[in-house]
Amino acid sequence: MRRARFTFEGAFHHVMNRGHNKSIIFPTRSDKFYFINLIHLKAKLLRIKILAYAIMDNHYHIILQNTSNKLSDFMKQINSIYATYFRKKYGGCGYVFANRFKSTLIQNNSYLLIAILYTLKNPVRAKLVLNPYEYKYSSINEYFNLGNRKNITDNKFVEELFGSRNVLKDKLEEEIKIKENRSRMGKVLGDKKFIKESLKKFDRRKENKKGTEKRRIDEKPFKKYREIKRIFEIKEGIKVREINIRKIEGKRKRIILLKLLREEGGYKYKEINRLRLYQNLKLNSLSVLYLRA
């Protein structure tokens, strides 16, 4: 039986995974950007805060905050969707990624800063570039208005950690050493007091699940269905029950509501499929409609 992930709501993590047998899994520019966009989409849907990332040829690093307590769902989805994409494009069979993703719990202060720096300097350690700012497949140019592409990270949060672009630049020139500690639940980048407090939070999280259903998706930070419905009806000027999906305008309204249910409510397709408007659709049709939205 697999051990539960050492996490809790609000926890910071360094997560990574690599290709099976260290094989190359991001061989081209388009593959790397496909994965970056996948991180962006799933982080938005599952309310995971991304702080930093670096996509290499045979592995990736992501620094994130488990803001919605859906870390495992997030990692499972980005790995499985990319694996499917990779096999369709390059053929073959078997595993794409080595195993379960690796995760290190991080203390929020200088330890988090170190983890971000470590991730951003990964291309330099791999001797792909001399300057980390030259690497196009990391988040380094999302901070302090250096890039013109959309931000995937919570760049404001990271900018507050460093204070200024010059501080970030100076820190990147320093030697970075990662010294992880071990706990009964796995690796931790933090001091002993942090480990003790984190274990209490983790144990409390497990206790809260005993004898009850897992946390519902309509709890924070997601909106409840009735709130989403109310917002939709006010904005679109129509009651959900009055939508006629036989008409083009009704189909358009259905897509708008689907987008809200996914992004504001965090609902899965199988849950949306139970609603009257979507009962005549297959699950893969719902995903097509959402991508169209």
pLDDT at 214: 43
pLDDT at 219: 40
> Which residues of the chain are under the pLDDT cut of 50?
1, 210-220
Q: Amino acid identity, residue 248?
A: I
Cα–Cα nearest to 258, from 248, 246, 234, 283: 283
* Residue-wise pLDDT tens digits, 125-140: 999 999 999 999 999 9
Task: Tell me how far apart the alpha carbons of residues 152 and 50 are, in angstroms, rounded to a whole number.
Answer: 7
Is 196 buried (19+), middle (13-18) or exposed (0-12) by CB count in 10 A? exposed
CATH class of 12-196: alpha beta
* Residue-wise pLDDT tens digits, 99-125: 778 888 888 778 899 999 999 999 999
Domain residue spans of the chain = 12-196, 225-292
pLDDT at 100: 75
* Residue-wise pLDDT tens digits, 163-184: 999 999 999 998 877 766 666 5
